[in-house]
């Protein structure tokens, strides 16, 4: 069976490795892929439009495409593949707006009574400025589009507010969609990510995870795409699961059905536990990066069989290992702002599994950094304490100038 995976991060390497477990007859293709995916399949090296990718799939008899990265979703890749009768896992454009258009996502949450922080939306810089003049509490100012986790600014005072709206709305720092913003109540709580799978008839949540979004130790500094993750999330006790099922999952399912936002794919709930209640911050319509990298090693099922039987026969029985997993992201120094690439990485070939490559490439037997997030190292143990120790021990052997990682992943 030939499978195409769209994306070039650690998540896509993890999806590829998991698909290969127990399935010897799979041939993997990646676009654009990375130095790691090249070791387990073929990267499509030339620059492709989504139409090129559909034609490639037709010509090469690709039986299934899995969309890893959101970038392809907002380009309407699913609609196009379906037009050519190609099997693809992911939301059509209409449904992907839950992620790609944050204002659409928030109004969906309001309409269906899904618990979410209070918010206002603005498309005028002057109106936003006027609204913020009366405020003096921490607020979250969000760019209304995709920005790899970086378009969310936590602003504490008048100076921060001014800088944030200027960056987004005047200087278009995160992209052209900067004309629209969300200003949201700031919740200082514990983050939870719940990834789930949706087949138009049911949503089945996976284990909970915790993503470490900020660049610095103790959650300091700028938001990033994610600097580490653990699975399961220790804050997600049974009371929180009950709260999630009642106030987030069930009304989401009802809303998706009512609004015909249905698809075969993944739904990611970005959550915050605050004052013992769970709030939904955002939906993503794909798997999370780096949550996937700590989650998939704990799945006992044959991943491909699980996907096929759920999507095409509505049968599912997911079994999880009773272990904890800790994923540490090694990034280029300077990320999420400016950074240099092309640094040599030593001992990567000796790294013990599981690990996943993101922004790294191999040339003449030598590994080099090639992106912001470079490598994901995973530790697994019955106890999260030893899972994290295991991951950090593995990192000690990696030698590279200008690589950075947080020291507190897994310390909650």
Q: Which is nearer to ligand GLY, 184 or 291 (CB)?
A: 291
Site for ligand GLY contains 211 (CB under 6 A): yes
Distance (Å, whole) CA 216 – CA 406: 6
200, 215, 205: which is closest to 154 by C-alpha?
Answer: 215
Could you tell me the end-to-end alpha-carbon distance of the chain, in angstroms, rounded to an integer? 41
Q: Which is nearer to ligand GLY, 11 or 361 (CB)?
A: 11
Q: How far is the CB of 247 from ligand GLY (least distance, A)?
A: 21
Query: Count of CB atoms within 10 A of residue 118's CB?
Result: 9
The binder of 117, among ligand GLY, ligand AMP, none, by C-beta within 5 to 8 A per type, is ligand AMP
Site for ligand GLY contains 184 (CB under 6 A): no
Please classify residue 121 by burial: count the beta carbons closer than 10 Å to its beta carbon, then call 0-12 exposed, 13-18 middle and 19+ buried.
Answer: middle
Residues 269-308 close enough to bind ligand GLY by CB under 6 A: 284, 288-289, 291
Binds ligand GLY by CB under 6 A, chosen from 149, 228, 379, 410? 149
The binder of 243, among ligand AMP, ligand GLY, none, by C-beta within 5 to 8 A per type, is none
Q: How far is the CB of 289 from ligand GLY (least distance, A)?
A: 5
The binder of 284, among ligand GLY, ligand AMP, none, by C-beta within 5 to 8 A per type, is ligand GLY
Q: Which tokens sit at 210?
A: 């915790």
363, 326, 324: which is closest to 342 by C-alpha?
Answer: 363
Binds ligand GLY by CB under 6 A, chosen from 68, 178, 226, 372? 226
Buried b (16+ CB within 10 A) or exposed e, 213-236: bbbeeeeeebbbbbbbbbbbbebb
Distance (Å, whole) CA 277 – CA 283: 18
397, 161, 194: which is closest to 278 by C-alpha?
Answer: 194
Total residues in contact with ligand GLY, by rule CB under 6 A:
7
Q: How far is the CB of 146 from ligand GLY (least distance, A)?
A: 10
The binder of 140, among ligand GLY, ligand AMP, none, by C-beta within 5 to 8 A per type, is ligand AMP
Q: Which is nearer to ligand AMP, 268 or 303 (CB)?
A: 268
Q: Which chain residues interact with ligand AMP by CB under 6 A?
A: 117, 140, 142, 149, 152, 184-187, 191, 213, 223, 270, 272, 281-282
Please list, in sequence order, all residues whose beta carbon lies within 8 angstroms of the beta carbon of residue 27, skipping any fewer than 6 positions away.
1, 2, 3, 41, 42
Sign of dihedral through CA atoms 225, 230, 234, 238? positive
Site for ligand GLY contains 101 (CB under 6 A): no
Q: Which is nearer to ligand GLY, 288 or 354 (CB)?
A: 288
Q: Which residues bind ligand GLY (CB under 6 A)?
A: 149, 211, 226, 284, 288-289, 291
């Amino acid at each position: 069976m030939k499978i195409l995976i769209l994306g070039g991060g650690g998540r896509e390497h993890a999806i590829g490795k998991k698909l290969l477990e127990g399935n010897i007859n799979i041939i993997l293709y990646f676009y654009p892929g990375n130095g790691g995916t090249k070791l387990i399949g073929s990267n499509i090296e030339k620059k492709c439009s989504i139409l090129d990718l559909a034609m490639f799939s037709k010509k090469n008899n690709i039986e299934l495409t899995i969309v890893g990265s959101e970038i392809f979703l907002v380009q309407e890749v699913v609609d196009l593949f379906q037009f050519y009768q190609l099997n693809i896992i992911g939301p059509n454009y209409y449904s992907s707006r839950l992620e790609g258009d944050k204002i659409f996502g928030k109004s969906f949450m309001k309409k269906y009574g899904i618990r979410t922080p209070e918010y206002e939306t603005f498309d005028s810089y002057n109106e936003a400025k006027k609204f913020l003049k009366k405020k003096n509490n921490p607020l979250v100012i969000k760019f209304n589009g995709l920005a790899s986790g970086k378009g969310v600014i936590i602003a504490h005072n008048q100076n921060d507010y001014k800088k944030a709206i200027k960056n987004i709305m005047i200087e278009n720092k995160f992209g052209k969609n900067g004309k629209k913003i969300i200003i949201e109540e700031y919740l200082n709580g514990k983050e939870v990510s719940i990834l789930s799978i949706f087949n138009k008839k049911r949503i089945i949540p996976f284990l909970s995870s915790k993503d470490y979004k900020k660049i610095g130790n103790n959650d300091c500094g700028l938001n990033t795409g994610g600097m580490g993750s653990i699975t399961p999330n220790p804050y997600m006790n049974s009371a929180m699961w009950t709260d999630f099922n009642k106030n987030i999952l069930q009304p989401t399912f009802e809303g998706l059905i009512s609004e015909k936002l249905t698809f075969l794919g993944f739904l990611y709930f970005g959550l915050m536990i605050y004052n013992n209640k769970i709030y939904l911050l955002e939906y993503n319509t794909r798997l999370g990066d780096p949550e996937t990298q700590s989650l998939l090693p704990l799945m006992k099922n044959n991943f491909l069989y699980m996907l096929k039987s759920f999507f095409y026969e509505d049968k599912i029985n997911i079994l999880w290992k009773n272990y904890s997993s800790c994923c540490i992201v090694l990034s280029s120094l300077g990320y999420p702002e400016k950074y240099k690439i092309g640094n040599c990485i030593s001992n990567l070939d000796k790294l013990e599994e599981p690990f996943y490559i993101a922004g790294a490439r191999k040339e003449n037997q030598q590994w080099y950094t090639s992106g912001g997030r470079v490598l994901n190292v995973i530790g697994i143990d019955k106890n999260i304490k030893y899972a994290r120790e295991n991951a950090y021990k593995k990192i000690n052997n990696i030698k590279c100038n200008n690589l950075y990682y947080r020291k507190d992943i897994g310390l909650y």
